Amino acid sequence: MQRYNILHRTYYNFSGLVSLGPHTLRLRPREDHDLRIESSTLTITPPASLLWHRDVEGNSVAVATFGLPTNQLVVESEVVINQYNETPLEFLVADYAINWPFTYQSDDTLLLGPYMAIQENGNRTQLDEWILNFCQPGERIETYTLLNRVCTYIYQTLNYQIREEPGLQTAEQTIAYGTGSCRDFAVLFMEAMKSLGIASRFVSGYLHAKPSTDNFGATHAWAEVYLPGAGWKGFDPTIGKIVGTDHIAVAVARLPETISPISGSFFGAQGAKLDVGVWVTKI
């Protein structure tokens, strides 16, 4: 077991006095048999009323409402977790899915349909050709080997680039540009999985990395695939590895754009400056 302290500070500095609309916060990690929350605090300025719920994906969501005008919004989340996912390769895949291609059982297909839906964003010829790097038509290959090949290939052949601006590249754009952010690589991995008939979803969370002068941890994105017998398993194409102890999932979704850590609105003076700091430390 590994303990982590996660400190996530977000500052919105407005150009003048504003009224804040409701804000949706997805900052609390997903608890399961691999992860337990030891303590959690959420501090918001100006004061806010909070209502918590779990969304359709089981993510923990807080909705903050405000009563006072302000020229600054500060959201500080601090969480201590116990992470047990120290042996991520210890899982069993159902016999019928050990090798690819395989077909999900009918009950699973009904539930997984949305996670297998191909995005209708134009010509996928480039993506289909790119997939030929991993498997040829009619080839039978171990499923994990195929997943690992795709994950590793993205890491080895594409250049990682931090993109602060909002939005996502399509899978085809990432292939064409040869570069992308962690969320772009996750989308590419997901779309490749769907083309191969494997259900996938987007994950946002945190990644612990060795501290340096400019890196104490970061918000991060990766993907999960559904493997019969094993459940949802994470793969991180940004580092070319299966998800392990250093990954801390906060939210999952079929559509990446639906799970921003903080989203909301304001009314009044135009313009706002955003500053975010994240520190993920072992304790």
Q: Domain 95-244 belongs to what architecture? A: Roll (3.10)
Q: What angle do CA 166, 271, 68 make, to 5 degrees?
A: 110
For the chain, what are the domain ranges?
2-84+260-282, 95-244
Distance in angstroms between the alpha carbons of the first and the last residue of the chain: 11
**Residues 78-88: tens digit of each pLDDT:** 999 999 988 99
Give yes or no for residue 212 having a pLDDT over 60: no
Q: Domain 2-84+260-282 belongs to what architecture? A: Sandwich (2.60)
Q: What percent of the chain has pLDDT over 70?
A: 95
**Residues 33-72: tens digit of each pLDDT:** 999 999 999 999 999 999 999 999 999 999 999 999 999 9
